[in-house]
Chains A and B, each alone.
Chain A
Amino acid sequence: MNLGPLNRLTQRSVTQDVVITHEDVDRAHDRVRVSAARAQRGAFSKFRLLWLLVGPGILVMLGENDGPSMISYAATGARFGIGFFIPFVILTFCMAIVVQEMTMRLGSATHRGHAELIFDRFGPFWGWFSMIDLGIGNFLTLITEFIAIRAGLGFFGVPPWAAVGSALVFLCAAVAMHRYWTWERTLLAIAIFNLIFVPVALLTHPNWHSVGHALVTWRPLPGFSQDTLIIILADIGATVTPWMLFFQQSATVDKGLTTKDIHLGRFDTTLGAALASIAAVATIIATAPLFAHHMTAENFQGAEFAQALQPLIGRFGAALFALGIVEAGMVASVTISISSAYAFGEVARRPHSLNLPVMQGKSFYSVLFLLAATAGAIVLIPGLPLVYVVLLVNVVAVLAMPPALVFLFMLANDREVMGDLVSPLWANFLATCVVVFLTVAGILFGISVIAPKAFAILGGK
């Protein structure tokens, strides 16, 4: 594999001056296991290699099926039923694969986080723009995760302060292992519970003929209105957001993936997208009966969806739905906090790894916890329009994506850094389509807000 000239600069500079850290030792142990599995033949060894290398892709996709995303999917099912949005959501996950594959490739080839690469290659001027976008987006999204946790646990009668407190305890417990591998496996085990929406969907006895018809024909189509546009933007924002770019690249680096692992990294990303899209479609199907029963769901937060579904699927099904919302919020609160801490460490040139002991990673763990604690505290403010914040956050995420994607696009095509691993033509074409699609969706939203008459001329209501 021919890497870019800038990547090879450091290869000749391994000297006695380089301090080997605990972070390096832990990562080396992980790589020894990968090398051992790769050296052996047989189906079991191949499966073991796969098991050792999957993680960042599944976590980023299931992490993005977060509290506001599941609420957006639930709102989609309740407002539009089974139809256009089922294949549309699958399309958004295909977009996510195109985008996230680039971050995995960048991380494996450069061993640098996304924020670090932007700062180094484009300079602090563009770097800070990128960091401000990420910081605002991550903080707003974190608030919505705590809203989801509060709403989900509220179904079981847990008071808001206890819900927020338990989420913070969960966050501390998740990173307390000081070992990337243990953290990743633990969070994967919890994240897989995102599929809890599948049994909930089955409990609604869906009309599979309608589901199949929607998948093939994309019909029935929703009316073209500002409400539809907001749901479309919210569903896109539920699948592709800036924090995912930063998280997967940094997690790929922290896990220690190399260019030899890119093939399985792609599998990891695609598997994550497949699992997440199953959960997303299941959520739409689960709340579709609310549409059929003409129940309004405009101000539902998660727990209200569970309560509304209870007469149709019973207490057990409703409890599963509420638990799913809690799990989505809990997992995402961890991944988004870590994404922010990685980016901070990369920009501030401070140690940033989940392999770090607390004393060596004080700034990393402090940023992670303080951000989450502040977001949790905001959710406890009485009278905050929580539902509005949830929808707004997904819309803001979509609007912030095109500038973030251009940085990613330029880095993935930077031959001086990537060498032979630059994006192929088909990947560039798909990535350009994603940028154009997101920009057009954002512009349409802008027109619908500031010039409703012009929006009506375009066919909107």
Chain B
Amino acid sequence: MTPKDKVRETITTSDQELVLASLEPEQLAGLKKHLIPRRHLKGPEKFVMWSLRIYLLFMMVVVVYQVLTSLH
């Protein structure tokens, strides 16, 4: 018996009806395995994301420097 079969076995028909009646289709855990298609990033978007990534890396170096100077 597969894990899927085990789950099916413990869920009654009335449970299934309740779920299908009360939840929106995208709310079903089983459907969340479908990926949402990738977004094409434009030039300015890539620029902002890279800038902030470099900013964060630089600031982490600053924090490490601050820690080292404080410890000495």
Determine the distance from Cα of A14 to Cα of B25 in the docked complex, in whole angstroms.
7
Q: Which residues of B contact A24 (CB under 8 A)?
A: 19, 23, 27-30
Of A76-84, A303-311, A367-375, A402-410, the one touching chain B? A402-410
**Contact between chains at A14 and B20 (CB < 8 Å):** yes
The verdict on A23 contacting B55 (CB below 8 Å), with A28-B22, A406-B49 known, is: no
Contact B34 A20 (CB under 8 A): no
Does A256 make an interface contact (CB < 8 A)?
yes
Indicate whether A416 reaches chain B with its CB closer than 8 angstroms: yes
Nearest-CB distance from A30 to chain B (Å)? 9
Could you tell me which residues of chain A, from 326 to 347, have a CB within 8 Å of some CB in chain B? none
Chain B interface mostly helix, strand, loop or mixed? helix
1/0 per position for B10-25, CB-CB distance to A under 8 A? 1100011011111111
Q: Is A31 an interface residue (CB 8 A)?
A: yes
Closest 4 CB pairs of A and B: A120-B36, A403-B52, A28-B22, A18-B30
A-B contact pairs, 12 of them (CB 8 A): A10-B25, A11-B26, A13-B34, A18-B28, A28-B19, A35-B22, A126-B49, A392-B67, A395-B63, A400-B56, A445-B62, A446-B59
Q: Given A20-B20, A256-B27, A446-B62, 15 other A-B contacts at CB below 8 A?
A: A6-B37, A9-B36, A14-B25, A20-B7, A27-B19, A27-B23, A110-B26, A112-B36, A256-B23, A349-B33, A353-B29, A388-B70, A399-B59, A403-B56, A445-B62
Q: Could you tell me which A residues sit within 8 Å of B by CB distance?
A: 6-7, 9-11, 13-14, 18-25, 27-29, 31-32, 35, 110-112, 116-117, 120-123, 126, 129, 133, 256, 258, 349, 351, 353, 360, 385, 388, 392, 395-396, 399-400, 402-403, 406, 410, 414, 416-417, 439, 442, 445-446, 449-450
